[in-house]
Structure 1
């Protein structure tokens, strides 16, 4: 099902490097080239290819190249199909110079030929898609600036995609944090750009209500048809994500769902795939879902005979999974085209193993979210999670390259899950890895920067994008890269005013300012909290009430003596720019974002990065205590919450600086979301894992230890694989369970803690047991 071998992928990469990276190579001037396009290329791609070349070159150079049917220039860009016998009287190069035999579907070959005094850049496609991908490669490699376009004269590149399906979801709905503000023309340009980087599929989410977004410029029922037309223009597949009725057991739900779908299918000029998620949303058992899909397929074939029905098993328990695969084995249905692997599906390798070979396996990777998602940011500081949240600008070329290589091997390709423009770098990365999984991510980002920002800034912009990913690696306070990243982007910002209105540039520069502001705030506010605890340590001397008053005055400096306001101001300037350029909704109140969790990073830029809110609430509780002795005891507990004393240890389970935690959550639902993100709980309470593991070394085997656990619900604790019996077992947030540790199990001074998972499959993850804090207390 993949179209080239690993050998060819490596060969292609080497050819590209040899042909295009050598700075000493002769440059071929294309500024006066004419463009010849084979009449054998079927419409509309014949026209589209010419438009794309002419328009994208003109945008970057102000040169207007002409499409012709005559060999009338000394320099020509000749575009033809591999099997064309002639192009306006000239015979294309022989097959020996053309696309290698096993580089077929969607492949292309770009090379330079000198014919007498004439220089020809040939773009030969194995099919119409190959034509557009070849045009894209030429545009990504060309050196373009005002009044000039050149290419290395020794260019000789052959390439064809390894994964046949490479696409992205673009739901025209209010859930996305920008697309609902777009026009048809903006979608056309954006789809074009994605195609030029190797995408061949786009997935919409139809059936949106006209008044569901204040930003709609086009009736969503009209836009869903316009997106189909755009896909036809670029020979890209048009998919739709359309859940079944929530409960198919309700009378008439089955038929009403089919009727709605049929009306949509009838008006789409192109439709290639219908993806019906089994869950998220939906609670249907496959016993009801399968008959619905069967009937849906018949309606789909009526209007789009080549289109296919796809389904995911998201949220399915073991019984539902078994039912589904038993059905496939027994009935071998032809109405099903393939299975989609998405967040909360069964393990990807298991799905592929259980899926009969006649069915395709599509990946639905989440490249758009940072927390409470399929692929969390690895080792992310909580301060970023609290402020940048779930949908910030998130270029992560290194992380997503690793994930692509790990998981895509079990699939026939992907259409990614996206909810806005903030993951633009990740989209291009995935598209290019879908073409060649061995491609160096730095080469991909270099092409991205060259195409969107220009040759002169490409190298430094590439460095800046990787630097933004480095900003997110580990504890902020010890991350020296953050300020260096800001200085790089500030210099690029000043030196490149021509990019000031470029939305891709805007969101990258804004991220650099945002990250640096959060670092300055974190250092300042953690310092204030430390000073507050020093004041609380004097409570026995100055009295509990005065200690609390003075500690609060110290903490309130965060809102009075605010740091680095120049950085914050720049973030808001770029927030406004992004709203004007692409309708990015970075605030609920100011820009009418759908909700606080949908990219509203401006609303959280000053969220407390210490426990100020928690301490304010705790002090109010302390004031209600009856005696000074009780107040002092409680204040001492608050002060030493995460500092249990010499020989004892404390870990905030999912913090980037947790010392003893060895586990990571598998899908980043380890960050509590409540009160629209404005939780007043202790910061450590907002991080959790369901079943963490911890390791300790060099413990004193002659000492009595107590293990204390905080979290929610159950905590089935094992110490060196021995289930411990609690002496205290509270189940609420910021309540405690305590387990005496038998000395005989730590004779060698090592301790491994683990937690058995309770039987809570029937509960939503938000209600399942979790662990937030663990203490090992020397008694």
Structure 2
């Protein structure tokens, strides 16, 4: 595949065991030798990385030597060097990974009684990746540094492009609060896990964030310097400057871009999204990109211009690919596939082979996004929202193996530190797509939390992913996951200042708190309906008052307050440690949708807000009869009686729905996520499928549909005519069901797709609820 290293050679680590114990090479008093052929500035980086990362985990000091003194040695060299300070370096033929781009070999040899651990890199990056493997697999504890003595690992990456976006901007939920040193450490850590590219989002307004530690234009340059330090590619995500048909916009955009190119010490790629944002036709966008390329190569001759077709319709897509076929321009480096781009397979098929193809996957969001969480309980969507701590090693391994092979690599879309586990998964799969997620997560836990904690922390992190599988009420994993994390919390007080530790612990507490709240508040709602069932005797107003009093116990007598307090404590710790802004009011988050999980911790998980509004409407009715009729409708809304059925279309516990939602949770996003609509109306599918069995073929049924817009309903393949057809939210469509269609007692309901391709998805017709009502 074009641009993709087509081979991977890995010599698996093996350990010599006797009596059940591994033989280890003790490196506690090791000397570091760096080949003189390695340029001095990079040699300094190697020394700094090894000294600091080993020192902070062991308290040991790494001595730099220039001769083969006594004691064990870590020898760092390039694969092209046949000797180091008079000794022969273990070299092999060109077919081995340490001789391929970015490859390395990590091998222990004993020569004349001296233990030597060689880190042999094909190039500077290869050396850093070899160091990364050493640090991820070594046993590092206080005053102890060792590794399996028979180690011999040799590896090179499968994908040439492996990176992540780090936009220093207010939209990010933590990075705008970072210092240069924090970015330096974080980029280093990403490199040690296999990344080779970082993408910034320049041209930010210095006054756009109260958290900025330095002017964003200065940070743009500092990030470029950090990338140069670690020999990582520096990219920029730079949308077109508005309407390119306006000469002033084009001129200003080119001026701004050239100034940026001129002040960057390193720049390797410029990515201009065709849409999201942007709405320019390719006939206007292409000349602008060509102008950018001319400017870019004046300052960075090896850098390239990249573009995505995000938001392009068929006409725009056809225009772009016709241009490439006819002109084959040299100024374009490649195409990027991002959220709302045409399908991967289509773009790969139509893209001429001379161009690279980069993937831009969203690994940071949970809903209204590229990869929404599957079968996510609405209670999590309402409270954790779009940017919570979201480790999903199994899910993203599956998605990586499905989508990335058609590309030449990736730079992921991220907007905060909350997806840190996912970044490690993608970086390591970029090296070896067959690597097991449990092995990646084990190395992650060893490196960040220590070898003595790694096994338990790995299992506990997998538990967080399992917490999100299916209905919360039925998920027994959540309590067990919290127990694991609480045990780890108690046993490892030294990790309390570790921000990765903090956010994983906070998630464990948050999940358990939401589970407890959901059970409690759903029970309060059911108690309220039982009170309303007695409205005929009590009177409508008194019944509503008592029902509200029952619902408000959620505030007066909250459940699990100790769990809530833990969440608040960790949210504050995260703000201090890594600038994570989990609240708009408390931590000045950019908006409610940007990781502000603390602001939604008490969001109602029943229909309390909807009932409050409905009761106010009922109070204005002129007659008791009207009031009682509406109360009966409310309390039986989701309980239509024996022989009838109700389904909340995209709820994880819907009984008869056989289709899967793409991304339907909390679609309204009204009032900064605080919609007062009935919860079931905040879930939908465009064209759901429902199946029933055991119906009474002698009975009359009515199909009721709620949602918005059109509902082109079929029953067992036959299009039905409605007797009621209302199109607004909160209104209904009703379809009498002919008896002859359910002669076998089976019924399949489907919906034809309306011709609405011209509409934004938020304006398209959808189905939220379906009733099958026995008459």
Task: Please confirm whether the aligned pair reaches a TM-score higher than 0.5, indicating the same fold.
Answer: yes
Q: Which residue of 2 aligns with 1:327?
A: 323
Q: Which residue of 2 aligns with 1:88?
A: 85
Q: Identify if the C-alpha distance between structure 1 residues 560 and 22 changes in structure 2 by more than 3 Å, giving closer, same or farther.
A: farther
1:126 aligns with 2:127: no
1:647 aligns with 2:643: yes
Q: Identify if the C-alpha distance between structure 1 residues 486 and 42 changes in structure 2 by more than 3 Å, giving closer, same or farther.
A: same
Q: Which residue of 2 aligns with 1:50?
A: 47
Give the alignment's TM-score, normalised by structure 2.
Answer: 0.97
Q: Which residue of 2 aligns with 1:186?
A: 182
Supply the distance in 2 between the matched residues of 1:414 and 1:22 (Cα, whole angstroms): 45
| Bigger Cα displacement from structure 2, 748-757 vs 276-285 | 748-757
Q: Identify if the C-alpha distance between structure 1 residues 264 and 382 changes in structure 2 by more than 3 Å, giving closer, same or farther.
A: same
Q: Identify if the C-alpha distance between structure 1 residues 505 and 21 changes in structure 2 by more than 3 Å, giving closer, same or farther.
A: farther
For residue 460 of structure 2, the aligned residue among 460, 464, 477 is 464
Q: Identify if the C-alpha distance between structure 1 residues 158 and 733 changes in structure 2 by more than 3 Å, giving closer, same or farther.
A: same
Q: Which residue of 2 aligns with 1:624?
A: 620
For residue 583 of structure 2, the aligned residue among 557, 566, 587 is 587
For residue 712 of structure 2, the aligned residue among 710, 713, 716 is 716
Aligned partner of residue 336 in structure 2, secondary structure: strand
| Bigger Cα displacement from structure 2, 653-662 vs 753-762 | 753-762
Supply the distance in 1 between the matched residues of 2:351 and 2:369 (Cα, whole angstroms): 25
Supply the distance in 2 between the matched residues of 1:697 and 1:323 (Cα, whole angstroms): 50
Q: Are the equivalent residues in 1 in contact too, given 2:528–2:547 (CA < 8 A)?
A: yes
Supply the distance in 2 between the matched residues of 1:592 and 1:164 (Cα, whole angstroms): 38
Q: Identify if the C-alpha distance between structure 1 residues 225 and 76 changes in structure 2 by more than 3 Å, giving closer, same or farther.
A: same
Q: Which residue of 2 aligns with 1:262?
A: 258
1:359 aligns with 2:347: no
| Bigger Cα displacement from structure 2, 704-713 vs 299-308 | 704-713
Supply the distance in 1 between the matched residues of 2:475 and 2:306 (Cα, whole angstroms): 44
Supply the distance in 1 between the matched residues of 2:454 and 2:236 (Cα, whole angstroms): 35
Q: Which residue of 1 aligns with 2:67?
A: 70
Q: Are the equivalent residues in 2 in contact too, given 1:20–1:141 (CA < 8 A)?
A: no
Q: Are the equivalent residues in 2 in contact too, given 1:32–1:73 (CA < 8 A)?
A: no
Q: Identify if the C-alpha distance between structure 1 residues 536 and 143 changes in structure 2 by more than 3 Å, giving closer, same or farther.
A: same
Q: Are the equivalent residues in 1 in contact too, given 2:15–2:23 (CA < 8 A)?
A: no
Supply the distance in 2 between the matched residues of 1:554 and 1:23 (Cα, whole angstroms): 62
Gaps of 5+ in 2: none
RMSD of equivalent CA atoms: 1.7
Q: Are the equivalent residues in 1 in contact too, given 2:15–2:149 (CA < 8 A)?
A: no
1:401 aligns with 2:384: no
| Bigger Cα displacement from structure 2, 149-158 vs 627-636 | 627-636
1:37 aligns with 2:26: no
Name the count of aligned residue pairs.
774
Q: Which residue of 2 aligns with 1:225?
A: 221
Q: Are the equivalent residues in 2 in contact too, given 1:20–1:155 (CA < 8 A)?
A: no
Cα-to-partner distance string for 1:37-84 (whole Å, 9 max, x where unaligned): 112224543221121111100000010111222111321111111111
Deviation at 1:538, TM superposition (A): 1.1
For residue 431 of structure 1, the aligned residue among 408, 427, 430 is 427
Q: Are the equivalent residues in 2 in contact too, given 1:3–1:161 (CA < 8 A)?
A: no
What pairs up with 1:379-458 in 2 under 5 angstroms? 379-458=375-454
Supply the distance in 2 between the matched residues of 1:19 and 1:218 (Cα, whole angstroms): 52
Q: Which residue of 2 aligns with 1:748?
A: 744
| Bigger Cα displacement from structure 2, 527-536 vs 36-45 | 36-45
1:495 aligns with 2:491: yes
Q: Which residue of 1 aligns with 2:686?
A: 690
Deviation at 1:23, TM superposition (A): 6.8
Deviation at 1:777, TM superposition (A): 1.6
Q: Identify if the C-alpha distance between structure 1 residues 17 and 360 changes in structure 2 by more than 3 Å, giving closer, same or farther.
A: farther
Supply the distance in 1 between the matched residues of 2:13 and 2:470 (Cα, whole angstroms): 35
Q: Identify if the C-alpha distance between structure 1 residues 103 and 752 changes in structure 2 by more than 3 Å, giving closer, same or farther.
A: farther
| Bigger Cα displacement from structure 2, 755-764 vs 187-196 | 755-764
1:542 aligns with 2:538: yes
Supply the distance in 1 between the matched residues of 2:160 and 2:15 (Cα, whole angstroms): 26
What pairs up with 1:191-206 in 2 under 5 angstroms? 191-206=187-202
What pairs up with 1:287-298 in 2 under 5 angstroms? 287-298=283-294
Deviation at 1:2, TM superposition (A): 5.9
What pairs up with 1:161-180 in 2 under 5 angstroms? 161-180=157-176
Gaps of 5+ in 1: none
Supply the distance in 2 between the matched residues of 1:37 and 1:254 (Cα, whole angstroms): 50
Supply the distance in 1 between the matched residues of 2:550 and 2:152 (Cα, whole angstroms): 66
For residue 735 of structure 1, the aligned residue among 731, 735, 748 is 731
Q: Are the equivalent residues in 2 in contact too, given 1:477–1:519 (CA < 8 A)?
A: yes
| Bigger Cα displacement from structure 2, 124-133 vs 244-253 | 244-253
Q: Identify if the C-alpha distance between structure 1 residues 352 and 441 changes in structure 2 by more than 3 Å, giving closer, same or farther.
A: same
Aligned partner of residue 477 in structure 1, secondary structure: helix
Give the alignment's TM-score, normalised by structure 1.
Answer: 0.97
